[in-house]
Amino acid sequence: MGALVGRLLKAGLVVVPSMVIGVVIGIAVQAGFLGANGTPLIGGETISGRWITPFDSGTSYNRSAIFDEEQLRGLYESVGPAIVSVTGPSARRGGQGTSSASGIVIDAEGHVLTNNHVVEGLRGQIEVVLAGGRRVPVEVLGRDPGNDLAVLKVHVPGGRLPVAPLGDSSLVRPGDLAVAIGNPVGLERAITVGVISGLDRNLPRRGYRRSLRQLLQTDAAINPGNSGGALLNSRGEVVGINTAIDASQGNLPSFGGIGYAVPINIALRYLERMKNGEVIEHPFLGLSGNVITAARANQQGLPVNHGILIVGVQEDGPAAQAGLCARDIVTRIDGRRLLSMDDLGGYLDAERTVGDIVELTVLRGDDELTLKITLGPWPDQFGRNNTDTCS
């Protein structure tokens, strides 16, 4: 027990100054892709301290408490070379510049997984910088803008690429070790350490962009430049692709303790299609609404205390074409009870595709209706939001 306390005190003396350095560096960073509600899409990380030694929780997934330096060094040496820098010319205010973010080599054929906003912001020839500094041109194969993912292909004749092992993000739990590796503010292959802070986080985005859904939250430090980099578990497996940081406190696009990563299982769901050059489309209903709670139902005299009260429908969208109107109440989709908008969006993402027909249970006044809706693709821009009620 005395030895353990000594180790913890020793670790504490190192961690605290490292955290201070990380905060100072984070405040100084002012680059990034800003999303909704002060949430920037990023590429970056900062500095972290030493910690830790895993213990077996008795489950099939390795939990972590206090980790030693040897484990983290080994993890970094194993996976670090598979993290590349994705770079190219970008259009900036006042002229052209060069932008750099991160990517993950995911197989021996040279496929690189990164963020869609990384390649979307680049113009002209895109390159990756491999471990050792070699620059190699890459081709953008497919993209999933709705999940902020893209797949690149790098050709290295006669060479072998280091590959990052892919994990299973469905096994991740809050408190698990989280290790981020990427290229923050141009710093090559920086490693930071934290934990998984939360699951199934949803982030709205500006304009017509679909919200990012089912994200992993972490406190492993990430900053501009780390977009497309890896979030690893204690076994060194990729469980997420670092994507965004929350800068709502002060609106600074630098790390403040809340970072987000797209779970690797979402990427795997669409990976083969992206490798084949497809731009992934996500299903769209074309409605906006408010979640019904017991308090809202009582206040507004609604007949149920759950469901979605429709505020408006997109003109000529799928919901409008099926006859849905403002003030309708949607209580179920395909027989599944709806308690939130996330219930609706999550179901469509996980189990439906563009062109599928879904069945909505709708209350309109004293009548219960069943409406069948053919899902459309998420649009590049929205039409007029019709707030008229049905007569």
* Residues catalogued as catalytic: 117, 148, 227
DSSP per-residue string spanning 335-376: TEE-SSHHHHHHHHHHH--TT-EEEEEEEETTEEEEEEEE-E
Nearest one of 301, 310, 326 to 391, comparing CA atoms: 326
Chain CA centroid to CA 264, Å: 9
CB distance 307 to 363 below 8 Å: yes
- How far is residue 263's CA from residue 230's CA, in Å, rounded to a whole number? 10
CB distance 71 to 123 below 8 Å: no
CB distance 261 to 241 below 8 Å: yes
- DSSP label of 261: E
What SS3 state is found at 151? Answer: strand
Determine whether 266 is exposed, middle or buried from the number of CB atoms within 10 Å of its CB (0-12, 13-18, 19+): buried
- Structure token digits, residue 267: 């990427």
List the beta bridge partners of residue 195.
177
